[in-house]
Amino acid sequence: MTTQTVWPDRTITDDLSRLRDVNPLVHCVTNLVVTNFTANALLAIGASPAMVVAAEEVADFAPVANALLINVGTVTSADVDAMLGAARAARDAGTPWVLDPVAVGALGFRTGVVERLLEYDPTIIRGNASEILALAGEASGSKGADSTADSADAIDGAQLLAARTGAVVAVTGVVDYVTDGHEVVGITGGHELLTKVTGAGCALGAVLAAFAGVSASPFQAAVSGSAVYALAGERAARVAVGPGSLAVALLDSLFLIGTEHDELLGRRT
Amino acid sequence: MTTQTVWPDRTITDDLSRLRDVNPLVHCVTNLVVTNFTANALLAIGASPAMVVAAEEVADFAPVANALLINVGTVTSADVDAMLGAARAARDAGTPWVLDPVAVGALGFRTGVVERLLEYDPTIIRGNASEILALAGEASGSKGADSTADSADAIDGAQLLAARTGAVVAVTGVVDYVTDGHEVVGITGGHELLTKVTGAGCALGAVLAAFAGVSASPFQAAVSGSAVYALAGERAARVAVGPGSLAVALLDSLFLIGTEHDELLGRRT
Amino acid sequence: MTTQTVWPDRTITDDLSRLRDVNPLVHCVTNLVVTNFTANALLAIGASPAMVVAAEEVADFAPVANALLINVGTVTSADVDAMLGAARAARDAGTPWVLDPVAVGALGFRTGVVERLLEYDPTIIRGNASEILALAGEASGSKGADSTADSADAIDGAQLLAARTGAVVAVTGVVDYVTDGHEVVGITGGHELLTKVTGAGCALGAVLAAFAGVSASPFQAAVSGSAVYALAGERAARVAVGPGSLAVALLDSLFLIGTEHDELLGRRT
């Protein structure tokens, strides 16, 4: 039932080319730990980030954006109106949007916020295994924002969640899995050292939003975005000495991947 | 009417030396995407950043600072009192202050905040072409925080805005232009890849504030700060593989530029 | 009365090994300039950061965490409840917690917040000389968040503060000093260039919290954490060109220090 995807796949490279042609405007309401890295990842891949977070502005902005990302990593009561307003505006305008339910299930307040966000029909839900299992209603565990379960163990839960919500679900882990409730695609690549870079997963959520703004379907967007990100991560890990240089190299790789400089990338990074 | 400035210009290097002697304290109320990069850019150039953002503290702090930066990039209603209080305190104390009106004109809430900030007589206004044209009352366009116009197209608008507000206006783009309403100086340098580093423009606003804290005039401060930053960016781009390594190299270049290590810089970065 | 500590000290390397075995969950309520760097420093050293900042969530989280860090660098009135709630929950649960009183004494609002936090018995107080002297009730000076005094001048004040509060006090400077009110240990290492990296001191506060979550005593935690961090900083400075590359190298060094890659570190970074 699970198929593996291998780069270069023509659909994926086409999506990446389209992303760079369109330069999609990606509206982000994300957590305060990763705003900078997320914006830089979007710029590097070829998108245009816009961190518009005022409750007074989100509803005007979500409709003009090509895609929206909402990440609840550091949500406080002051942020809830902006998140809900952005999600509602995106849903009403037909703007695809990605929900990143960081640490859902582990903490009560954000779990309530995520439940309210789900009412606005996210296009893609991206999380680690613990988060996806929690949303699917299956007991799991987590350690802060880190998963204590393997992504493979969350495939059934991801399919259940996708079927129930209508969203494409992307489970991130050693292997990433993308499902629309029926089909499941596994994406290899990346590197374990990426778990030592804060925001590496959060930035993937933003990259999926960028692809959702230009791809033929949310499912294809999640597969293409995950595959490009995984390869960029794998390449970055080859030149990194530790997590500091890995974060820098990941941004460089996202910029260089699939471009005319790609041969150069193969040699230099 | 436009003159070009070329490094090394004696006035510019004198301003940079003075900046490093004084180590100006630069009070920043800036957006949450770029706080870290802005603080690091100020430290690298030789200034002392202070991200004091509590409404209860800004009025006490702006008068003891050498300069103030206000950047509305992610302004929410919770930030307005602190911004207005800081601007008022700076104006009343004679502390030079820089206004960075990110995405003004594109979104209603922040446009209202910028209008209120303008009442406190900013010393320098730094923006991209779309922002400066919006402030000058000329129709333009923008894509989130990114300009859709060329800086050269905003020279007239910048002169108009400078004449109306009494502020020095700095328009950032492929060529940066600085005007006091009469004289216009163009500054070349930098690199296109800098547009792929989030906060590169915002950090320039902070650097202009640092120069405003030590220069003979706001006009000279904006020219010196823009010239130093442009050269640092140009040098950084020579050693960067992509936007990740460019951001790192930019901080290194800002630190090394104009020092006894400068020859070394020519070889190593 | 002051003893110097020299790496490798068996107690220190044991603490570091234990930290990596336990992978302590470190709850951080810190300032918005340094959240990303702090999280990355914790990941690099082998801890698990959790930036939980909602007033609704902190009390649930502090007890399950191995340690807590509270840093008042950009505290606003909106953050006070979360800080006090986290400190109270940590104290009640017996979770060790580190207080980083950034710029205390220099600004009234945060000074009041720090006084209220002190009522919850911090396990370790980490600050620069100006901050420690201010808390000890001795007049000093500061420049924004930067100290204007030498760490050695704050040893007496640190001992006084430790005796009065029951906390271990760590004074950061060219030499770091750790005291429980009786014993004083001096830790050399680090590099002056680290003062040009924003958040280098704040991240140390988080690292001390991580060690407090696994060490035999708060005093030993502060010594071990300071020593490991100082050596990592020293090594990072050897390969850095400026403050940008230093920040990257510091994260790499924190990751590599004391591991099987350590020999490699000696050669490569």
Is pLDDT of C119 > 50?
yes
Q: Which residue intervals of A73-180 are DSSP H helices? A: 77-93, 108-118, 129-135, 155-165
For residue A78, name the pLDDT band (cuts at 50, 70, 90). very high
- Residue B253 C-alpha from the chain's centroid: 17
Element (H, E) at C8: none
Residues composing chain A: 269
What is the model's pLDDT at position C227? 95
- Whole-number Å distance between alpha carbons of A182 and A200: 27
Domains belonging to chain B, first-starting first, are 6-263 (3.40.1190.20)
**Minimal-distance CA residue of chain A relative to C248:** A244
Is pLDDT of A126 > 50?
yes
Query: Which residues of chain A have a CB within 8 Å of the CB of C40?
Result: 196-198, 243-244, 247
For residue A215, name the pLDDT band (cuts at 50, 70, 90). very high
Judge whether C57 is closer than 8 Å to chain A, CB to CB. yes
What is the model's pLDDT at position B255? 97
Region C156-163 average pLDDT:
97
- Whole-number Å distance between alpha carbons of B104 and B127: 9
3-state helix, strand, coil in chain B (%, to 5): 55, 15, 30
> Which residues partner with B57 through β-bridges?
none
- Whole-number Å distance between alpha carbons of A164 and A166: 6
Region A256-261 average pLDDT:
74
- Give the chains touching C; criterion: ≥3 Cβ pairs < 8 Å: A, B
Judge whether B192 is closer than 8 Å to chain A, CB to CB. no
pLDDT digits (tens, 9 = 90+) for A82-119: 999 999 999 999 999 999 999 999 999 999 999 999 99
Other C-beta atoms closer than 10 Å to the C-beta of B203 total 29
- Whole-number Å distance between alpha carbons of C27 and C235: 27
Region C168-175 average pLDDT:
96
Judge whether B237 is closer than 8 Å to chain A, CB to CB. no
Tokens 């968040």, located at residue: C145
- Whole-number Å distance between alpha carbons of A48 and B143: 8
pLDDT digits (tens, 9 = 90+) for C61-94: 988 999 999 999 999 999 999 999 999 999 999 9
Query: Average pLDDT, whole number, for chain A?
Result: 92
Is pLDDT of C2 > 80?
no
What is the model's pLDDT at position B143? 74
What is the model's pLDDT at position B265? 36
Query: Which residues of chain A have a CB within 8 Å of the CB of C48?
Result: 143-144, 146
State the sign of the Cα–Cα–Cα–Cα dihedral B254, B255, B256, B257.
positive
CB C83 within 8 A of CB C115: no
- Whole-number Å distance between alpha carbons of A263 and A8: 13
- Whole-number Å distance between alpha carbons of B41 and B228: 12
Other C-beta atoms closer than 10 Å to the C-beta of C2 total 12
Contact partners, residue A260, CB within 8 Å, separation at least 6: none
- Whole-number Å distance between alpha carbons of C200 and B202: 22
Q: Do A244 and C255 touch (CB under 8 A)?
A: yes
Q: Please give the sequence-ordered ranges of beta strands (E in DSSP) within C83-163, or none if there are none.
A: 97-100, 124-128, 142-143, 146-147
Residue segments in chain B with a per-residue pLDDT below the cut of 50: 260-261, 263-269
Under 8 Å CB pairs connecting chains B and C tally to 104
Tokens 């200034």, located at residue: B47
What is the model's pLDDT at position A138? 80
State the sign of the Cα–Cα–Cα–Cα dihedral C266, C25, C195, C33.
positive
For residue A265, name the pLDDT band (cuts at 50, 70, 90). very low
Other C-beta atoms closer than 10 Å to the C-beta of C91 total 18
- Residue C47 C-alpha from the chain's centroid: 14
Judge whether C109 is closer than 8 Å to chain B, CB to CB. yes
